[in-house]
Amino acid sequence: MSNTIAAGAWLLDLGVGIHVAVGERELQYLLPDLPKFTTIPNAPSYCCKAFVWQGDIIPVVDIAQLILGQEITRLEQEELIVLAIFQSNDNTLIQRGALFISAIPSKIYVQDQQTCDFPPPQALWQQLSSSCFNHSEIGAVPILNLEKIFLTTATSLWSKQGVESFAS
Amino acid sequence: MIGLSLDANANADAEFNSFYVVMTIDNLNLVVPQTHVYALEPILDVSYSDNNFIGHIQVETIVCPVYVLSANLTSVTSISQNRRICVLLHTASPISGVSIEDFFVMPAISDTLDRLPPNLFGLLCDQVVLTEWTQQIKVFPLPACMRTPQTRLRGLILHNDNILCITTAQDLLDCCTTSYLKLPIL
């Protein structure tokens, strides 16, 4: 019998064949309906929408669009929003952000032995994720680093990554 | 000159951090201090040209450029039928480099409004609401993931479940006159 401990996580289907995971305590709420979005001018197209939730303004990131570098068209019934919570390194207040997903999240358990390399584009996934594991059916699944995604400016992401790989 | 002129002298003793103008451009609601607005004019008073601005408007002895912005705050040369009001903005107030906190304690600029302010320009909007927020308003910083070099917002305000974008006359003038380099994904 193995002594390895499995960590709980949520598997998120982003559509267009892209899956990611977040920690089991990082997912707060699956919105039953699409909220009323406000488009923020001059924000990156993968993160230009925000909505109001319980007196807070929540930015929405479309990770699939960020990875593919093009707008993602989802069927209405396949467009869902999950609310995620995260904390910055300096242990300040818990903050919220939202992600576009295409299916209801499923609970999974991940073990250290499942660690694997990031899928392409590797450099970009490294920017957005803390690690990656191999799912028996899906393959490599990056585990999102929500702090990096929501607390890093688009400019910083681009300058670290280099524009070429994004545009390809 | 017809239209509503905003006399800052009349508000010299008022709290300048509570008077704002909410300008609507398509689905975008922009908030600027009333001290950045010189006057409101009907769009009928705008004369059109084929320059990099869409036209001009005469204010006393000065001819001011008039611009049109999209809801993404990029300069456009076509005019939507929704644009009905020309907001005359000026950049005379000390607004460069202010923080969000400074923004809400903007000093009075009644002295500069005793005469026609410099850097006067027109911006076409769908709707303009002059408002005084008597309650404490909560200002949210623009989320980091939404910031780009093109960002011209100082923050966000949540008002009646609507998200309003805080900006300044200078920021809007920059949007009107600057052609930004676009990142490939944007």
* Domains of chain A as residue ranges with CATH: 9-164 (2.40.50.180)
Q: Which of residues 27-56 of B touch A (CB under 8 A)?
A: 27-28
Element (H, E) at A14: none
Over residues A121-125, the mean pLDDT reads: 93
pLDDT of residue A12: 97
Cβ separation B146–A38 shorter than 8 A: no
> Which of A66-70, A121-125, B29-33, B135-139 bottoms out in mean pLDDT, i.e. has the lowest?
B135-139
Q: Report yes or no: B151 at the A interface, CB cutoff 8 Å.
A: yes
pLDDT of residue B161: 87
Over residues A52-59, the mean pLDDT reads: 95
pLDDT > 70? residue B13: no
pLDDT of residue B6: 40
The whole-angstrom distance between A147's CA and the closest CA on chain B is 10
The whole-angstrom distance between A82's CA and the closest CA on chain B is 17
pLDDT > 50? residue B156: yes
User: CA torsion, points B151, B155, B158, B163, in degrees to nearest 10?
Assistant: -10
pLDDT of residue B182: 42
pLDDT of residue A99: 97
**Helix H segments across A8-167?**
63-68, 122-128, 146-151, 154-161, 163-167
- Among candidates B74, B148, B163 on the partner chain, residue whose Cβ is nearest the Cβ of A57: B163
Q: Is the pTM of this model over 0.95?
A: no
Element (H, E) at B173: helix B169-177
Distance CA A40, CA A49 (A): 6
Q: Report yes or no: A61 at the B interface, CB cutoff 8 Å.
A: yes
pLDDT of residue A155: 64
Choose among B18, B36, B48, B53: nearest CA to B87.
B36
Phi and psi, residue B69, nearest 5°: -115, 150
When scoring B100, B125, B146, B167 by the number of chain A Cβ atoms within 10 A, the one with the most, hence best to mutate, is: B146
Q: What value does the mean pLDDT of chain B take?
A: 76
Cβ separation B144–A151 shorter than 8 A: yes
The whole-angstrom distance between B92's CA and the closest CA on chain A is 24
The whole-angstrom distance between A37's CA and the closest CA on chain B is 9
pLDDT > 90? residue A142: yes
Over residues A1-29, the mean pLDDT reads: 89
pLDDT of residue A75: 81
pLDDT tier at A156 (50, 70, 90 boundaries)?
low
Q: What value does the mean pLDDT of chain A take?
A: 88
List beta partners, residue A43. Answer: none
Q: CB neighbours (10 Å) of residue A16?
A: 14
Which amino acid, A53?
Answer: W
pLDDT of residue A52: 96
Choose among A87, A70, A84, A69: nearest CA to A20.
A84
Q: Report yes or no: B4 at the A interface, CB cutoff 8 Å.
A: no
Q: CB neighbours (10 Å) of residue A130?
A: 14
Higher pLDDT, B48 or A30: A30
Which amino acid, A78?
Answer: E
pLDDT tier at B101 (50, 70, 90 boundaries)?
very low
> Which of A46-50, A155-159, B34-38 bottoms out in mean pLDDT, i.e. has the lowest?
A155-159
> Which of A85-94, B2-11, B151-160, B171-180 bottoms out in mean pLDDT, i.e. has the lowest?
B2-11
Distance CA A55, CA B163 (A): 11
Over residues B130-139, the mean pLDDT reads: 80
